[in-house]
Amino acid sequence: LPDQEDKEQNPTDQEQRNSDSIRISSVRPSNTYRRWLWVAVLAFFVIAGQTIATLVGRLYFDGGGKSSWMQTLVQLVGFPILLPFYFFSPTKEHETTDSNARQPSPVRAVSVYAVLGLLYLAVCYLYSIGLHYLPVSTFSLITASQLAFNAAFSYFLNSQKLTPFILNSVLILTISSALLAFNNEETDSAKVSKAEYITGFICTVGSSAAYGLYLSLQELTLRKILKRATFSQVMEMIIYMGLISSCACMIGLFASGEWKTLTHEMQQFKTGKVSYIMNLVWTTVAWQLFTIGGTGLIFELSALFSNAINAVGLPVIPILAVFIFHDKMNGLKVIAMVLALWGFASYVYQNYLDDKRNEEQS
């Protein structure tokens, strides 16, 4: 009886738990909606940035541009655009980050930035060569294979679970890209040789593989090495990486001698000097939007999800390329596109199952 009376007179623990439950249930949906709204904005940056940058970059080569190093540089040199995001970005701590964890030494941090920056430089350079020699539609379909590469690297580096649906996605995307190896075609605006086509194909596949590795290493860096807590600190990492990769790209531009032809390129550009400059400016801006969105999605979710969002823009670029560059959409490309969309849908369905399972457990 005394115990029962004490429980009746001191129901504070149960009331407190009920109160906390009500408070959590009323706040959690709001936080969830806010978070997914932010994810939607980042996804828009990825799709829009990737689409605009690819199409405008192709216009550079069609207009008379020939410097792969210049196209690489515009993908990297726009990092100062990120400074406003660095100062005014959200500072919510990531759920899985230990805020009390010891931060790495400056030497270690700079070493990590240098490795990632140089790897991203290689990605962009291979990307530029592929875009130079391949039709946009073929190029964009091949780049969808980066999701398969990212899944494989994430399995080994970030303990990503490879469920049957993700394995199906990897297999389908690999087949989709492999089919295009048998697609023998030339661009309408600038005829390329068989050797140049093969070079473009190999460089595009290499770029996709390197980008998959880059995203996995970036996720590993954020969660295991640098232990960053806020999005503004993620921006700090991107800015330092952009500085390192831009300096290395400038060395490549001058060492290759391509800088000597830039003035002649601008003067001979089909649509004029102003158009040449604006082409490079808008390519730079578009790539930085893509960088913000992609890194933000890694921070909020995972590298594999960020790469999956890249695949959402898959049907957009080939369709626009048919109207803008008059690319031929033959049967092999259509099959490759359908397979790529199938692979992406398989991955999205696996994410749906994971979210549903997490909701049931909570």
Instruction: Flag whether 274 is in a domain.
Output: yes
Angle at which helices 231-256 and 273-300 cross, to 10°: 140
What is the structure's pLDDT at 18?
46
What is the structure's pLDDT at 230?
64
Instruction: Flag whether 143 is in a domain.
Output: yes
Question: Cα(360)–Cα(178) distance, rounded to whole angstroms?
Answer: 39
Instruction: Flag whether 1 is in a domain.
Output: no
Instruction: Flag whether 308 is in a domain.
Output: yes
What is the structure's pLDDT at 28?
47
What is the structure's pLDDT at 23?
36
Share of the chain above pLDDT 70, in %: 78
What is the structure's pLDDT at 314?
65
What is the structure's pLDDT at 100?
54
Domain count, the chain: 1
Instruction: Flag whether 2 is in a domain.
Output: no
- Residue 76 sits in which domain range? 36-91+103-361
Instruction: Flag whether 31 is in a domain.
Output: no
What is the structure's pLDDT at 281?
94
CB 256 within 8 Å of CB 128: no
What is the structure's pLDDT at 93?
44
What is the structure's pLDDT at 177?
67
- How many of the other CB atoms lie within 10 Å of CB of 76? 26
Burial class (CB in 10 A: 0-12, 13-18, 19+), 32: exposed
Could you say which residues of the chain have pLDDT below 50?
1, 4-5, 7-9, 11-29, 91-99, 187-189
3-state secondary structure of 321: helix
What is the structure's pLDDT at 286?
93
CB 329 within 8 Å of CB 137: yes
* DSSP letter (8 states) at residue 188: S
Token pair belonging to 168: 């199906």
What is the structure's pLDDT at 296?
80
Question: Cα(73)–Cα(333) distance, rounded to whole angstroms?
Answer: 30
What is the structure's pLDDT at 184?
56
Instruction: Flag whether 14 is in a domain.
Output: no
Instruction: Flag whether 325 is in a domain.
Output: yes
